[in-house]
Amino acid sequence: MRASLLSLALVGTALASPVDLLSRSLCLSYTLIDTRGTGEPQGPSAGFITMNRNILAAKPGGRVYSTVYPADFTQYSAAGTADILRELSAELAEDPARCFILEGYSQGAAATVNALEKLPVSDPRYAAIKGVFLIGNPVHKAGLECNVDTKGGDSTKNVNGISASYDGPIPAAYVGKSLDVCQFGDGVCDTTHGVGINPPHLVYPSDAGTQRQGTEFVLARLSI
């Protein structure tokens, strides 16, 4: 525990360097932390392959990290949350100026939101997280400004996800740097118009609107 606290303190000290802060503002190095959905094999989520390829081609200095956790049908995503937090700390210890985008699909979105809850503004990792991009989010919370549908509209802005009554939502400090995409009728993020894991929940990997929004949102966030 003492070593972990020391590591975080050193990261916080490093982030205070003017040189590092300048590099951070340019996001010369960045990681897309990709947390897959239930049933997807370990590795990158199908939901982000196209957009991440576009992002890496458009902006040099990036890499993808695929969160390590079971992503099984127990829906117990705590291991994913822990791995996201661990990876943030490990990469910042090596490169204090690195920027991060957190991505989560379905159960992976819940794991990501749960990680955000453990990263308040006072945490040195908060400033390193430039953006959060979620799809099919079970803790999608009605009324948040970051809520959009796959066309960028508001048809799912005021609906709740299947787990929203007891988990989440995206913490207020992250709403302004998040985009929570929910397909109309997706029973995981839109329980008003759909039930459970249904066909609309599976559209994101091949949906042009989702992939376009993801690409544009992430590139814009990496430029802030």
Whether the predicted pLDDT of 6 surpasses 70: no
pLDDT digits (tens, 9 = 90+) for 14-47: 444 554 655 677 899 999 999 999 999 999 999 9
CATH architecture label of 2-100+108-221: 3-Layer(aba) Sandwich (3.40)
CB-facing half-sphere around the CA of 60: CA atoms within 13 A: 0
Instruction: Specify the pLDDT at position 4.
Output: 41
pLDDT digits (tens, 9 = 90+) for 177-213: 999 999 999 999 999 999 999 999 999 999 999 999 9
φ/ψ (deg, to 5) at 5: -65, -35
Calpha distance 68→119 (Å, rounded)? 19
User: Among candidates 161, 170, 168, which has minimal Cα distance to 188?
Assistant: 161
**Per-residue pLDDT averaged across 68-88, rounded?**
96
DSSP codes of every residue in 64-113: EEE--S---TT---HHHHHHHHHHHHHHHHH-TT-EEEEEEETHHHHHHH
Whether the predicted pLDDT of 56 surpasses 80: yes
Residue 75's pLDDT band (boundaries 50, 70, 90)? confident
Instruction: Specify the pLDDT at position 45.
Output: 98
Domain residue ranges in the chain:
2-100+108-221
Whether the predicted pLDDT of 10 surpasses 50: no
pLDDT digits (tens, 9 = 90+) for 163-172: 999 988 999 9
pLDDT digits (tens, 9 = 90+) for 207-221: 999 999 999 999 999
Longest dimension (CA), the chain: 50
Question: What angle do the packed helices 2-15 and 78-94 form, to 10 degrees?
Answer: 50
> Which uninterrupted H or E stretch holds 213?
helix 208-221
Whether the predicted pLDDT of 155 surpasses 90: yes
Instruction: Specify the pLDDT at position 22.
Output: 56
The tokens for 85 are 């937090």
**Per-residue pLDDT averaged across 53-76, rounded?**
96
Instruction: Specify the pLDDT at position 100.
Output: 98
Question: Radius of gyration over alpha carbons of the chain, in Å?
Answer: 17
Calpha distance 209→22 (Å, rounded)? 33
Contact assessment for residue 115 and residue 85, using Cβ atoms and an 8 Å cutoff: yes
Residue 224's pLDDT band (boundaries 50, 70, 90)? confident
pLDDT digits (tens, 9 = 90+) for 92-151: 999 999 999 999 999 999 999 999 999 999 999 999 999 999 999 999 999 999 999 999
Residue 1's pLDDT band (boundaries 50, 70, 90)? very low
The tokens for 16 are 């205070």
